Amino acid sequence: MRIIVENCVFMNGGDSAIGIALRDIVMDTFPEAELTFADSGFPDIARYYPDIDFIPLPSFVMDESAVVRLAARAFGKYRKYLFFRKLYMSTSVAATRLLTAAGLPLPTPVMRAIRPYLDADLVLTTGGTYLLSKYDYGRRLLEFHKSYQLGKPIAAFTQSFEAFSDDFRSRDLAPLLARMELILVRHETSKDHVHALIGRSDHIVTVADSVFALWTPGPTSLADRRARSGRPAEDRLRIAIAVRKLKAYGSRDPETGAALFKQSVLAAITALVREKDADITFLSTCQGIPEYWTDDSAIAVDFAADLPPDVAPHVTVNRAFHTPQDLIEVLQTFDGVIACRLHMAILSICANTPVLPVSYEPKFEETFEELGVLDLVTPIGEIEPEPFAARVLEWTGTLDSVAASLEQAAPRLQASARSAGPALRDALAQKGIC
């Protein structure tokens, strides 16, 4: 079975963790499958993940064409622009089929990007949180239309959804979701949102985030975790912190929200250094790839520049690129992680390292509710410097119990994440696809 996994963004470390976990889950269920990943970062991303077969994502190739750029200037990112792009993609799909059948060369980059789909048996849209009304998911729509025009079955790997706005995009998305063979979601609320949009949910299955499939058992006590990474039992406290830039901070305006988030992180670091004699490292999933549009380590450098003089020597910024597997190993060398990225938090759990999450979307609360530790979550729209610093200090006194709670819940979420493979197999079997 030849499977194309599309809508990938491996330059985002969380998305790459999803992709790698997806590959493991699918290959466990379909050992003979051939997986190819259609990624927006092609060809640059192949240098960072040489063991993965990447191809370009047709919608990204199409949007680079002169005629589509001209349409963008003419129409803006509204209904007419989406209609024009759908027409362009549809024409390109038809031409690709005709020219390939006739054995003729494909004259445009978008046709050449579409060509691998002709040989695919299944298209998976990767897991994530990208089909939300607050994001521009027009390119995702184009990919779905393209695959359906080619007669390919589509299934959606583990998604999070929020309530959809009633606009031209959601009205275009609804029948595309309704036609899918299977939609995997992280939480029942996501299932409810899709049902409200399309009027059915019999093809929707709730499973844990796919990255939990990467979890392996490990020690829970601080002493044992330090011993595993070759650290002395009485070593100084080591905490990793992942920060990022956001467009929204709950109900706060962006400027106020960003300032309070930064002040709260700096207050927590200061308290950790002064009261716990801790060493702090800024470290995140999204860093070390200059071709990507964002770099969390650059945000960390900005944060670190405002630390008090007595605190700054105890703080470093890790700016290197890490694959998810490498990052798990790095996270095992820390005593705890404060994470403002969901998959940084999940990878910390995979590393058996206790985590304190800062939430900016409901997917955090949904995930940590499933883990049975919802009380660990701090919503970014409510964060304040003094209370957050106090909470961090309190958390450092409970690292063993937090680790034990997460370790107790992790096997259940790992099994749930891996159940996505059999769910996909069953859904395809019902349609006679495999």
Residues 304-362 have pLDDT tens digits of 999 999 999 999 999 999 999 999 999 999 999 999 999 999 999 999 999 999 999 99
Question: 434 pLDDT exceeds 80?
Answer: no
The pLDDT, as a whole number, for residue 78 is 81
Average pLDDT over residues 156-185: 96
Q: CB–CB of 273/281 below 8 Å?
A: no
Residues 359-414 have pLDDT tens digits of 999 999 999 999 999 999 999 999 999 999 999 999 999 999 999 999 999 999 99
The pLDDT, as a whole number, for residue 329 is 98
Residues 259-276 have pLDDT tens digits of 999 999 999 999 999 999
Q: CB–CB of 207/423 below 8 Å?
A: yes
Question: 199 pLDDT exceeds 80?
Answer: yes
One-letter amino acid at 193 equals H
Instruction: Band the pLDDT of 288: cuts 50, 70, 90.
Output: very high
Residues 132-162 have pLDDT tens digits of 999 999 999 999 999 999 999 999 999 999 9
| Both structure tokens of 344 | 């940084």
d(CA 80, CA 145): 16
The pLDDT, as a whole number, for residue 161 is 96
- Assign 3-class secondary structure to the chain: CEEEEEEECCCCHHHHHHHHHHHHHHHHHCCCCEEEEEECCCCHHHHCCCCCCEEECHHHHHHCCHHHHHHHHHHCCCHHHHHHHHHHHHHHHHHHHHHHHCCCCCCCHHHHHHHHHHHCCEEEECCECCCCCCCCCHHHHHHHHHHHHCCCCEEEEEECCCCCCCCHHHHHHHHHHHHCCEEEECCHHHHHHHHHHHCCCCCEEECCCHHHHHCCCCCCCHHHHHHHCCCCCCCCCEEEEECCCCCCECCECHHHHHHHHHHHHHHHHHHHHHHHCCEEEECCCCCCCCCCCCCHHHHHHHHHCCCCCCCHHHEEECCCCCCHHHHHHHHCCCCEEEECCHHHHHHHHHCCCCEEEEECCHHHHHHHHHCCCHHHCEEHHHCCHHHHHHHHHHHHCCHHHHHHHHHHHHHHHHHHHHCHHHHHHHHHHHCCCC
| Domains assigned to the chain | 2-207+419-430 (3.40.50.2000), 214-413 (3.40.50.2000)
Question: What's the first-to-final CA gap in the chain, in angstroms?
Answer: 8
Residue of 330, 325, 355, 353 whose CA lies nearest to 340? 355
Average pLDDT over residues 409-427: 98
The pLDDT, as a whole number, for residue 75 is 87
- pTM of the predicted model over 0.85: yes
Residues 215-251 have pLDDT tens digits of 999 999 999 999 999 999 999 999 999 999 999 999 9
The pLDDT, as a whole number, for residue 242 is 98
Residues 63-74 have pLDDT tens digits of 999 999 999 888
Residue of 155, 190, 146, 22 whose CA lies nearest to 429? 155
Residues 28-47 have pLDDT tens digits of 999 999 999 999 999 999 99
Share of the chain above pLDDT 70, in %: 100
Average pLDDT over residues 106-118: 98
Residue of 408, 400, 411, 413 whose CA lies nearest to 354? 400
Question: 26 pLDDT exceeds 80?
Answer: yes
Instruction: Band the pLDDT of 208: cuts 50, 70, 90.
Output: very high
The pLDDT, as a whole number, for residue 431 is 84
Question: 17 pLDDT exceeds 90?
Answer: yes
Average pLDDT, the chain: 97
